[in-house]
Amino acid sequence: MQTDNDLQAKIDAVADEILRSERVVVFTGAGVSTESGIPDFRSPGGIWTRFDPDDFTIQKFLSSESSRRKQWQVLREGGLFGTVEPNPAHYAIAKLESLGKLDCVITQNIDNLHQRAGNSPDRVFELHGNMQWVVCLNCGKRYETGEIMELLKKGVDIPHCEACKGILKPDVVFFGEPLPFQTLNAAIEHSKQCDLFISIGSSLVVTPAAYMPAYALEGGAKLAIINIGDTPFDSRAHIRIEGKAGEIMPPITERVSRRLCA
Ligand code: APR
């Protein structure tokens, strides 16, 4: 069990590692957005405890209308169409960038909350895409998600392209789909080159995203993990903090800020 003193000591240790490091990479998963009201996937009550991930492969999405109906329902329920806001964890991560102590954010999330909290878009690598766009798989026409949200709100359960009636797909990576090549390569390079890799709110079980901490360790970086629950990398972490990202990241960034501005 982690005592308050242990927690404070670990928060100070992560902040001190950030201050000592030249290239800090923050890696995030769905756990960094749950305090914004977006459910994660594998916690109790998470998306994959209510839906079967096997229904959400790109093959199923293309081959079955019922899979497309479920997919749009998950995206609607996942709070990705609602008015979600960044939480203190997102703002604390963005502040590290403004303090000059963040090389980049590598995220598995598609909610755009790092950018909305203030991280520069060119320093956010979205391995699984971004829910801002919906694309027609037939003619390539792109729609802002808000337009499709209006259709869903009016009760349309499977939206189609208005231009060609083709299948519309959120511009995110489905199971069975390759990750965006350039984004993945950039994330691998930044992971290999960093000297501190901080994983926040990820179960670190889905590859190739979950290879990033391994690349960082191979490159000689220190690993810090902030998470509720265990991950397969805990034994290789130099610092592991059990707890909520929105409660742990702000004091880390505050300590960094105080020491830099002292
Ligand atoms: N603070 C810290 N950790 C949290 C919080 C929180 N507020 N809320 C949840 N967590 C933890 C959960 O306990 C879990 O260990 O965050 C982790 C989230 O893990 P997953 O739900 O597996 O999400 P993620 O790691 O992002 O999944 C990776 O799987 O289904 C695919 O494409 C999907 O990008 C996703 C990928």
Choose which residue among 183, 228, 234, 247 to substitute to test ligand 1 binding: the one with the highest number of ligand atoms within 8 A of its C-beta.
Answer: 228
CB distance 216 to 194 below 8 Å: yes
pLDDT in tens, 160-204: 999 999 999 999 999 999 999 999 999 999 999 999 999 999 999
Residue 159, Cβ neighbours under 10 Å: how many?
19
pLDDT in tens, 76-113: 766 566 678 999 999 999 999 999 999 999 999 999 99
- Token output for 84: 């979600």
In sequence order, which residues have a C-beta less than 8 Å from that of residue 2 and are 6 or more positions away?
10, 241, 242, 243
Bridge-based pairing state of the strands 24-28 and 196-200: parallel
- pLDDT reported for residue 1: 62
pLDDT in tens, 115-135: 999 999 999 999 999 988 999
- pLDDT reported for residue 5: 84
CB distance 117 to 94 below 8 Å: yes
Question: For ligand 1, atom 7, which residue shows the shortest CA distance?
Answer: 244
* In the chain, % of residues over pLDDT 90: 77
Question: For ligand 1, atom 34, which residue shows the shortest CA distance?
Answer: 108
Catalytic residue flag (residue 128)? yes
CA-to-CA distance for 80 and 106, rounded, in angstroms?
A: 19
What the chain holds in terms of domains, given with CATH numbers, is 1-38+86-128+178-262 (3.40.50.1220), 55-83+131-172 (3.30.1600.10)
Q: Is 72 in the pocket of ligand 1 (CB under 6 A)?
A: no
CB distance 102 to 257 below 8 Å: no
Residue 68, Cβ neighbours under 10 Å: how many?
20
In sequence order, which residues have a C-beta less than 8 Å from that of residue 153 and are 6 or more positions away?
none
In sequence order, which residues have a C-beta less than 8 Å from that of residue 258 and are 6 or more positions away?
none
- Token output for 50: 């209510």
From 90, 114, 128, 190, the catalytic residue: 128
CA-to-CA distance for 114 and 94, rounded, in angstroms?
A: 7
Expressed in angstroms and rounded, the spacing between residue 49 Cα and the centre of ligand 1 is: 12
19-22's contacts with Cβ under 8 Å and 24+ in sequence apart are 19/101, 19/256, 19/259, 19/260, 20/196, 21/101, 21/194, 21/195, 21/196, 21/222, 22/195
Q: Is 61 in the pocket of ligand 1 (CB under 6 A)?
A: no
Q: Is 206 in the pocket of ligand 1 (CB under 6 A)?
A: yes
Helix axis angle for 4-20 and 245-261, nearest 10°, is 50
